Amino acid sequence: MSPSRLLDFHPPVAVPFKLAIAVLLVAPSLTGALSAQASDTSNKDRQHVRIAVDVPYPPFEYRNADGELAGFEIDLGNALCQRAKLDCEWVVQGWDGIIPGLLSRKYDAILSSMRITPAREKQVRFTDPYAMSPKVWVARRGSDIDIDDMETLKGLSVGVQRGTTQDNYVTERYADTLEIQRYATAADVALDLQSQRLELAFINYPVALDTLDVDDTNSDFVQVGPRINSPESIFGKGNAIAVRPRDKDLAATFNQALDSVYADGTFIELMEQYFDYDLRPASRK
């Protein structure tokens, strides 16, 4: 009952004057307290979602000069959480343990350039794909390497990030030809190529651009052969967000948010901030 309606209330039993005044004074404060409590409850009702990311993996995810997480997928993830009204928290996790960490509930989702592959689909539930970045071979400028000539590749060392589709591709196609060196991060692969401890690297094209400047004619490194995105049995259908198999509703929530950022041009706006080529998978064009 509001204070104004209390003034019109005529009980059958007389109410002491002091008691009536106390009711009038307390009622507004009770109303305010209930309103604040309702507001607090609405904030608490926001689903808290922890999202794992493998850092560094520029330009997708890295730490800026202030030590804060930045990059294309960080910006994309923040936009998705805002659209979906999720209370999101970023969790840094090395790639080797990123799926086990999800399944052991260290976090609730993975948004870290993870490709949809048949092997991973047996472990996690994926959203629809949101991106498709090609892979490339990189060598030092002036190297006489023909990626299609197995004889010129015999005994050369190649670096890949362990547990990635790049690792799977090189292992399946070149295990008997190249000396495969596996690393915890793509940055470590690039570092050893720069230090001449590797003769080749097979890495994500955006990483090759960002860390090795393969598009710069003054760079010490060049792309060898074409960009690679097939076969689908190895490279999958594109990058997607991974959640636990039972979290169907969370996957659907992320899919709705992805549809939203694509529909209003936010995805393309973010993409063009970091890339000078089209990152969209075929299903999104």
List the pLDDT tens digit at each of the 285 positions of the chain.
Answer: 434 333 343 444 444 433 343 433 444 443 343 333 333 334 467 899 999 999 999 999 999 999 999 999 999 999 999 999 999 999 999 999 999 999 999 999 999 999 999 999 999 999 999 999 999 999 999 998 999 999 989 999 999 999 999 999 999 999 999 999 999 999 999 999 999 999 999 999 999 999 999 999 999 999 999 999 999 999 999 999 999 999 999 999 999 999 999 999 999 999 999 999 899 998 998
Residue whose entry in the numeric block shows the structure tokens 């039993």? 13
CATH number of the domain that residue 109 is part of: 3.40.190.10
- Residue 73 pLDDT: 98
Backbone φ and ψ for 217, nearest 5 degrees, come out as: -65, -15
**Total-model pTM:** 0.79
Q: Classify the C-alpha dihedral 122-124-130-133 as positive or negative.
A: negative
Would residue 251 be called left, alpha or beta, if left means φ above 0 and alpha means ψ between -120 and 50 degrees? alpha
Residues of the domain holding 90: 48-132+237-279
**Does 272 share its domain with 215?**
no
- Residue 111 pLDDT: 98
Nearest to 213, CA basis, from 135, 103, 138, 127 = 138
Nearest to 81, CA basis, from 102, 55, 53, 103 = 53
**Does 250 share its domain with 120?**
yes
Is 73 in contact with 60 (CB distance < 8 Å)? yes
Backbone φ and ψ for 75, nearest 5 degrees, come out as: -65, -40
**Does 95 share its domain with 224?**
no
In a domain, 203, yes or no: yes
Nearest to 187, CA basis, from 208, 205, 166, 163 = 208
**Number of structural domains the chain divides into:** 2
In a domain, 214, yes or no: yes
In a domain, 40, yes or no: no
Alpha-carbon gap, residue 63 to 78, rounded angstroms: 15
**Does 66 share its domain with 194?**
no
- Residue 1 pLDDT: 42
The residue out of 188, 210, 228 marking a domain boundary is 228
Alpha-carbon gap, residue 285 to 280, rounded angstroms: 7
- Crossing angle of the two packed helices 266-274 and 72-84, in degrees rounded to 10: 160
DSSP 3-state assignment of 221? strand
Kindly state the tokens that stand for 46.
Answer: 């926001």
In a domain, 77, yes or no: yes
In a domain, 42, yes or no: no
DSSP 3-state assignment of 50? strand
**Does 219 share its domain with 161?**
yes
**Does 128 share its domain with 250?**
yes
Burial class (CB in 10 A: 0-12, 13-18, 19+), 162: middle
**Does 179 share its domain with 252?**
no
**Does 64 share its domain with 120?**
yes
**Does 124 share its domain with 244?**
yes
The residue out of 209, 228, 247 marking a domain boundary is 228
The residue out of 205, 228, 251 marking a domain boundary is 228
Q: Classify the C-alpha dihedral 175-178-184-185 as positive or negative.
A: negative
**Does 144 share its domain with 70?**
no
In a domain, 108, yes or no: yes
Kindly state the tokens that stand for 27.
Answer: 């009622």
**Does 126 share its domain with 147?**
no
**Does 71 share its domain with 203?**
no
β-bridge pairing 135-140 and 200-204 = antiparallel
In a domain, 275, yes or no: yes
In a domain, 43, yes or no: no
- Residue 38 pLDDT: 36
- Residue 22 pLDDT: 41
